[in-house]
DNA sequence: TGTTCGACCTTACACCGTATGGTCAGCTCA
DNA sequence: TGAGCTGACCATACGGTGTAAGGTCGAACA
């Protein structure tokens, strides 16, 4: 379609970079081989020349994310290095929220391995035994990852979504306030700085399925 | 196909229960509307009489999981209640690992709301302010969830998988030991009790794509 | 000048969620 | 008794998915 001198050459690295960019914009579910190929200016099956499978791309994308984490250097002070790492993890995952949902795979890339290696090296250099290093990493990573996941599940960008969405639940608020008084209490006066923002957590996803093609009086999933 | 008196009646609740059972056995990716319907003895489209969409089923499944968490009762002591909750969360999520990957949705069910309500009630009864309650829940949930996620990403059942899978990486171990000395060190002498088991983390997923249909000498994704 | 080969394409398949519109037994009510 | 309604289910179809199998073609090389 476009002359080869005009089009930037396709490589595994570029495909993965473009995939990351697409996922950043539109999320990871709508990212398909066909759309990625189109973005690269080729056909879907041509991707398989550069890449094993879609999972291979996802692994590569995760490795890109790992490469953006702040990695401790030799001689870094332990506490500040771990703090930098945690903060950068939070920031990077906020920029690539899709990474959290694909984090449970098992084929780490070079950046991932390098990052973990550096972290282990930093802790060991600080005098930690190997078991203690494992424990420290488990504790830190569990919390940071879990926090990032909580944060990602909230609609952080204030795109007018919150006000409209809460109206749905407000209609039933009387019943809800009776059934879940503590929850209602927290939803009414939330702490703006708290990690949990229950009012947003509770919003219903009604706009995803706005209407049915026929009178739905009998449908089980309609509220009576 | 089967007489209606023979077949257990299909309801939203039963569909979700069966979906949970299927996901427990085979994971959540292969769970499709057609397979679930077949398991229930009906056709795929008949599910939509009882259920809004597949997302509706996933929401219901998550609510089932929440209903299995240990929920604090009125008057429970704060520390032990939170500890029970954390431990049961770990155990329940170990039994339903798929729940972790769909945890970032936004249409909570009654069990979810009830559970959160009870937790808030317990902390408030212990004298926590509302902001402090939010903070406490954020901290606890972040860690417990992150830990469960780490744990789920490891192949916990010793189905002979570990030994075979590590052979792949052992072949390249010399190069890896040089590039990532700390990682290799931890992989060689891991702590059996540590949360991170790097040796297993590092295994390659080669068996997923065992061979190609043609000589793959030129493929970019083959190691040179 | 013929052969190889890297990079790409076409076609096809099985599967997915679900929109649309039946079908039909059993019930209500005139 | 018979007409109409309705709850529960089914058949077909559409546009999407990942990817197996094999074809095409220009450039590089013998």
Does residue B85 sit in the same domain as residue B41?
Answer: no
* Contact list, A191 vs chain B (CB under 8 Å): 130-131, 134-135
What are the phi and psi torsion angles at A46 (to 5°)? -70, -20
- B218 within domain boundaries: no
Model pLDDT for residues A146-167, shown as the tens digit of each residue:
999 999 887 544 443 444 444 5
Mean pLDDT of B52-80: 95
Angular region, B160: left φ>0, alpha ψ -120 to 50, beta rest:
left
Model pLDDT, residue B207: 31
The verdict on B144 and B77 lying in the same domain is yes
> Mean pLDDT highest for which of A83-97, A101-115, A199-213?
A83-97
Output B18 or B76, whichever has higher pLDDT: B18
CATH number reported for the structural domain that contains residue B71 in this entry: 1.10.357.10
B86 shares a domain with B12: no
Here the tokens at position A218 are 């009998």
CATH classification at residue B11: 1.10.10.60
> Rounded distance, CA A49 to CA A42, Å?
11
Task: Say if residue A19 is in the same domain as residue A87.
Answer: no
* B211 located within any domain: no
Classify residue A135: in a domain, yes or no: yes
Report pLDDT for B189. Answer: 59
User: Is pLDDT at B104 greater than 90 in this prediction?
Assistant: no
Residues found in chain A: 224
A182 within some domain: yes
Instruction: Look up residue A135 and give its two tokens.
Output: 């424990």
Across the interface, whether the CB atoms of A113 and B149 are under 8 A apart is answered no
Q: Does A166 lie in the same domain as A139? A: no
More confident residue, A173 or A210: A173
- DSSP assignment letter at B73: P
Last residue of a domain, one of A152, A184, A215: A152
In a domain, B212, yes or no: no
pLDDT band at B171 (very low <50, low <70, confident <90, very high): low
Q: How far is the CA of A41 from the C1' of C12 (A)?
A: 22
For residue A120, give the nearest of B182, B191, B201 by CB distance: B182
* One domain for residues A131 and A176: no
**A72 shares a domain with A39:** no
Q: Does residue B126 share a domain with residue B165?
A: no
So what's the pLDDT on residue B14?
Answer: 97
CA-nearest of B90, B139, B96 to A150 is: B139
Question: CB distance from B202 to chain A under 8 Å?
Answer: yes
Q: Between B210 and B90, name the one with better pLDDT.
A: B90
pLDDT of residue B158: 42
Q: How large is the average pLDDT for residues B103-125? A: 90
- Domain carrying residue B166: 161-201
Say how far apart CA B107 and CA A102 lie, in whole Å: 21
In a domain, residue A32? The reply is yes
Query: Which residue in the set A149, A194, A208 is minimally distant from B135, CB to CB?
Result: A194
Nearest nucleic acid nucleotide to A52, CA to C1' distance: D19
pLDDT tens digits for A29-75? 999 999 999 999 999 999 999 999 999 999 999 999 999 999 999 88
* Overall average pLDDT of the A89-114 stretch: 91
One-character DSSP codes across B147-167:
HHHHHHTS--S-SSHHHHHHH
Q: What is the mean pLDDT of residues B87-114?
A: 91
Q: Is the CB of A23 under 7 A from strand C?
A: no
Instruction: Kindly state whether residue B101 falls inside one of the protein's structural domains.
Output: yes
Residue written as token pair 């999933």: A221
Q: Based on the domain organization, do A79 and A130 belong to the same domain? A: yes
Looking at residue B170, its pLDDT comes to: 53
- Of A8-12, B106-110, B112-116, B124-128, the one with minimum mean pLDDT is B106-110
A100 inside domain: yes
Interchain pair B137, A12: CB under 8 A: no
Q: Sort out which chain B residues have CB atoms less than 8 A from A74's CB and list them.
A: none
Provide the domain count of chain B: 3
For residue A9, the model assigns a pLDDT of 86
How many percent of chain A have pLDDT more than 90? 59
Q: Is B156 on the interface with A (CB under 8 A)?
A: no
A96 plus A28 within the same structural domain: no
End-of-domain residue from the set A152, A173, A193: A152
Are B166 and B148 members of one domain? no
User: CA B85, CA B80: separation in Å to the nearest integer?
Assistant: 8
Out of A9, A28, A51, a domain closes at A51
Whole-number distance in Å between A4 CA and C17 C1': 38
Residues B138 and B79 in one domain: yes
Q: Are A73 and A118 in contact (CB under 8 A)?
A: yes
């Amino acid at each position: 379609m476009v002359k080869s001198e005009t089009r930037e050459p396709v490589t595994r690295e570029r495909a993965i970079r473009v995939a990351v960019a697409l996922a950043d914009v539109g999320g990871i579910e709508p990212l398909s081989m066909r759309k990625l190929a189109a973005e690269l200016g080729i056909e879907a099956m041509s991707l398989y020349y550069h890449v094993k499978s879609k999972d291979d791309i996802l692994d590569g994308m995760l490795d890109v994310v790992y490469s953006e984490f702040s990695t401790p250097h030799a001689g870094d002070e332990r506490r500040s290095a771990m703090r930098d790492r945690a903060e950068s993890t939070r920031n990077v995952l906020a920029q690539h929220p899709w990474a959290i949902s694909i984090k449970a795979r098992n084929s780490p890339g070079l950046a991932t391995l390098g990052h973990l290696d550096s972290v282990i090296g930093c802790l060991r250099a600080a005098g930690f035994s190997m078991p203690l290093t494992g424990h420290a990493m488990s504790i830190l990573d569990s919390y940071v990852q879990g926090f990032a996941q909580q944060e990602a599940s909230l609609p952080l960008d204030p795109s007018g979504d919150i006000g409209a969405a809460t109206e749905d639940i407000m209609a039933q608020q009387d019943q809800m306030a009776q059934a879940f008084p503590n929850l209602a209490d927290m939803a009414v006066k939330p702490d703006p700085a708290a990690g949990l923002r229950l009012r947003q957590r509770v919003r219903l996803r009604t706009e995803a399925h706005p209407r049915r093609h026929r009178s739905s009086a009998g449908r089980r999933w309609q509220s009576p």
